[in-house]
């Protein structure tokens, strides 16, 4: 049935007749007006032309000259009309592409039986995948952002799946993957996208997903990390599954070096679904389990909350022990509660006093408790009489303060150092060292459903624009040839 597409194309072109006709109307009107206004006189052409134009090209231009302007305008109208109707249709022009998930979960299992090894075998054995452009969907540790890397050059020198797996392990971070980048390939002109992933929750819309054999989840993950005011220690709770258990605790220096933790540095207590590590002070640590090392951060004591402004002063005073004992006037540290606007600014919490309270505070700020609030988009917490009467109104302040105890990502990224599954960004320029660890779903299925969409093919506006530029360039050239000073020739 090879005729079907052309019939569909013919029907589509018929749909473009309307815009084309509408755009041709002014062209025809201009032609009509020009012909009406144009005078015809009899005069020897050679008296107008000081040179001999007897070449065939000159005759062609003479014939063209009568209507070239209109012809070019009509051609432009047709092209713009077709473009308005969606022609030329978007289509891939770079061929098929294969995207390989290079997240940490691809390395789970024993070497040779990992999803990465299975993917390498699949790519090299499937002729369709082999002939397509291979991309690695990975993560850039230097920029701390996901990326999509073209592996065409790498694949040229690869002869076996083992070589491909090794090459990928050496070039990719195997940290996490952002599947939303896949749709960007479509806009770049690639078609026939195939995603190879071990994540069974990934489905594709316009993308063929080749799911690899799943592995039994085995993990040891920090579930929470906070400073315990009662015990005056930093508590990190771990959960484990699949028989993963801690074998070694390492102290992570700010330069990335590991040293075995001393027994007096920590305490370990078993929990209902894992265990709990507590430390006397904040620091960077790493647990080793099943041959893998996972760095983590034990948060320090959060700074007390400071206040700026009369209303904020009263609020902070009411918060009790977490508030700063303002012994040094004017010296502010930690989270600052302030009056007025500036909602969402890091390190600050803006409050405002309102009279009407038709809304409630966001549940994420109150741990689900219902606290009435007003409406003031300039402030994080628009509080009124009823808000201040609720005891749960203090929860947002506790949350903000607890979060301030953990180290934050440095704005100035230092050169990353690989530490087990994660990366350490050493201290630099007064900024403390920070960690980047893979998300939890790289260790265990999160149950979330990921839909990878192919996106839209790039429309061919550039082609249309180029054709229009060429046509108008031709128009200018002809106009210059026919009308320019010293070139008034027939």
Partner 1 sequence: MTYVDPECAAIATAFSRRNLRARLPNSIAAKDPMYRRSGSSYDLKSIREYQSFDDPRTIDWKLYGRSDRAFVKEFYDEADDEIAFLVDSSASMACAPADACRSFIGSLAYLLLTLGMGVRLWTYTDGLSERCLAARANSGGGQAGIAAVLSSLSFEGVTDTARSFAQWRSRGRQKRVFVFSDFHEHDLNLRSPHSGGLFLIRYRTPFTALAEKGAELEVLDPESGRIVVVPWSQADEDTWAAGELARDRHLAAIPRSFFRVLDAGSPRAPVYWDILERLYA
Binding site for partner 1 (CB under 8 A): 34, 37-52, 62, 65-66, 482-488, 490
Nearer residue to partner 1 within complex by CB, 36 or 449: 36
Whole-number minimum distance, CB 487 to partner 1, in Å? 8
Is the torsion defined by CA of 299, 245, 104, 207 positive or negative? negative
Whole-number minimum distance, CB 7 to partner 1, in Å? 43
Whole-number minimum distance, CB 74 to partner 1, in Å? 17
Nearer residue to partner 1 within complex by CB, 50 or 272: 50
Distance (Å, rounded) from C-alpha 352 to C-alpha 387? 11
Nearer residue to partner 1 within complex by CB, 32 or 362: 32
Give the long-range contacts of residues 145-148, CB within 8 A, separation 24 or more.
Answer: 146/176, 146/177, 146/178, 146/181, 147/181, 148/99, 148/181, 148/182, 148/184, 148/185
Nearer residue to partner 1 within complex by CB, 46 or 113: 46
Distance (Å, rounded) from C-alpha 84 to C-alpha 41? 42
Nearer residue to partner 1 within complex by CB, 317 or 477: 477
Whole-number minimum distance, CB 63 to partner 1, in Å? 9
Whole-number minimum distance, CB 67 to partner 1, in Å? 9
Whole-number minimum distance, CB 490 to partner 1, in Å? 4
Nearer residue to partner 1 within complex by CB, 25 or 34: 34
Where do we find the tokens 């087990």? 420
Nearer residue to partner 1 within complex by CB, 61 or 464: 61
Contact yes or no for 433/427 (Cβ under 8 A)? yes
Is the torsion defined by CA of 71, 77, 81, 84 positive or negative? positive
Nearer residue to partner 1 within complex by CB, 57 or 411: 57
Other CB atoms within a 10 A radius of the CB of residue 175 amount to: 23
Distance (Å, rounded) from C-alpha 85 to C-alpha 71? 21
Distance (Å, rounded) from C-alpha 474 to C-alpha 64? 12
Whole-number minimum distance, CB 482 to partner 1, in Å? 7
DSSP-based three-state secondary structure for 104: helix
Nearer residue to partner 1 within complex by CB, 69 or 198: 69
Contact yes or no for 132/194 (Cβ under 8 A)? yes
Which of 461, 456, 452 minimizes the C-alpha distance to 135? 452
Q: Give every CB contact of residue 225 below 8 A, 6+ residues apart in sequence.
A: 234, 235, 236, 237, 296, 297, 298, 299, 406
Q: Give every CB contact of residue 460 below 8 A, 6+ residues apart in sequence.
A: 88, 89, 90, 91
Whole-number minimum distance, CB 25 to partner 1, in Å? 22
Nearer residue to partner 1 within complex by CB, 121 or 489: 489
Distance (Å, rounded) from C-alpha 70 to C-alpha 68? 5
Q: Give every CB contact of residue 193 below 8 A, 6+ residues apart in sequence.
A: 96, 97, 98, 99, 182, 185, 186, 204, 206, 207, 208, 454
Which of 353, 404, 401, 403 minimizes the C-alpha distance to 381? 353
Omega before 346 within 30 of 0, i.e. cis: no
Which of 261, 175, 130, 214 minimizes the C-alpha distance to 444? 214
Within 13 Å of residue 195, how many CA atoms lie on the same side as its CB? 33
Nearer residue to partner 1 within complex by CB, 68 or 348: 68
Distance (Å, rounded) from C-alpha 156 to C-alpha 182? 22
C-alpha of 182 from chain center: 10
Whole-number minimum distance, CB 26 to partner 1, in Å? 18
Nearer residue to partner 1 within complex by CB, 51 or 412: 51
C-alpha of 219 from chain center: 27
Whole-number minimum distance, CB 477 to partner 1, in Å? 15
Hey, what's the torsion of the CAs at 32, 33, 36, 41, to 10 degrees? -100
Nearer residue to partner 1 within complex by CB, 329 or 486: 486
Whole-number minimum distance, CB 42 to partner 1, in Å? 5
């Amino acid at each position: 049935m090879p005729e079907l597409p052309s019939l569909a194309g013919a029907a589509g072109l018929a749909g473009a007749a309307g815009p084309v006709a509408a755009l041709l109307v002014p062209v025809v009107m201009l032609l009509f007006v020009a012909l009406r206004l144009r005078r015809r006189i009899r005069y020897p052409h050679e008296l107008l032309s000081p040179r001999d134009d007897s070449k065939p090209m000159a005759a062609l231009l003479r014939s063209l000259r009568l209507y070239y302007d209109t012809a070019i305008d009509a051609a432009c109208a047709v092209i713009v009309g077709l473009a308005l109707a969606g022609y030329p249709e978007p289509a891939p022009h770079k061929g098929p592409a294969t995207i390989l998930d290079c997240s940490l979960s691809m390395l789970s299992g024993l070497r040779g039986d990992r999803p990465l090894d299975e993917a390498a075998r699949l790519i090299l054995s499937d002729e369709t995948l082999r002939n397509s452009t291979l991309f690695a969907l990975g993560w850039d540790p230097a920029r701390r952002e996901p990326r999509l890397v073209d592996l065409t050059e790498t694949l040229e020198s690869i002869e076996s799946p083992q070589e491909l797996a090794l090459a990928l392990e050496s070039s990719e971070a195997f940290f996490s993957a952002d599947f939303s980048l896949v749709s960007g390939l479509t806009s770049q002109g690639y078609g026939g996208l195939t995603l190879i992933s071990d994540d069974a929750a990934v489905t594709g819309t316009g993308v063929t997903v080749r799911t690899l054999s799943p592995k039994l989840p085995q993990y040891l993950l920090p579930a929470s990390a906070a400073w315990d005011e009662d015990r005056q220690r930093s508590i990190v709770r771990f959960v484990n599954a699949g028989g993963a258990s801690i074998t070694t605790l390492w102290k992570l220096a700010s330069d990335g070096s590991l040293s075995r933790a001393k027994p007096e540095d920590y305490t370990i207590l078993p929990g209902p679904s894992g265990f709990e590590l507590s430390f006397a002070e904040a620091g960077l640590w790493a647990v080793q389990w099943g041959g893998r090392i996972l760095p983590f951060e034990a948060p320090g004591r959060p700074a007390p909350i400071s206040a700026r402004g009369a209303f904020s002063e009263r609020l902070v005073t009411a918060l009790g022990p977490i508030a700063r004992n303002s012994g040094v006037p004017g010296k502010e540290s930690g989270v600052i509660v302030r009056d007025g606007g500036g909602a969402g600014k890091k390190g600050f919490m803006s409050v405002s006093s309102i009279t009407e309270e038709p809304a409630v505070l966001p549940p994420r700020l109150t741990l689900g408790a219902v606290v009435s609030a007003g409406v003031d988009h300039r402030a994080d917490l628009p509080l009124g009489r009823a808000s201040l009467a609720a005891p749960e109104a203090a929860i947002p302040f506790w949350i903000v303060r607890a979060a301030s105890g953990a180290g934050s990502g440095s704005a100035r990224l230092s050169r990353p150092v690989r530490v087990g599954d994660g990366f350490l960004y050493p201290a630099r320029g007064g900024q403390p060292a920070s960690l980047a660890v893979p998300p939890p779903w790289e260790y265990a299925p999160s149950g979330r459903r990921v839909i990878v969409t192919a996106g839209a093919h790039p429309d061919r506006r550039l082609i249309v624009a180029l054709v229009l530029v060429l046509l108008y360039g031709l128009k200018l050239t002809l106009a210059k040839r026919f009308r320019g000073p010293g070139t008034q020739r027939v």
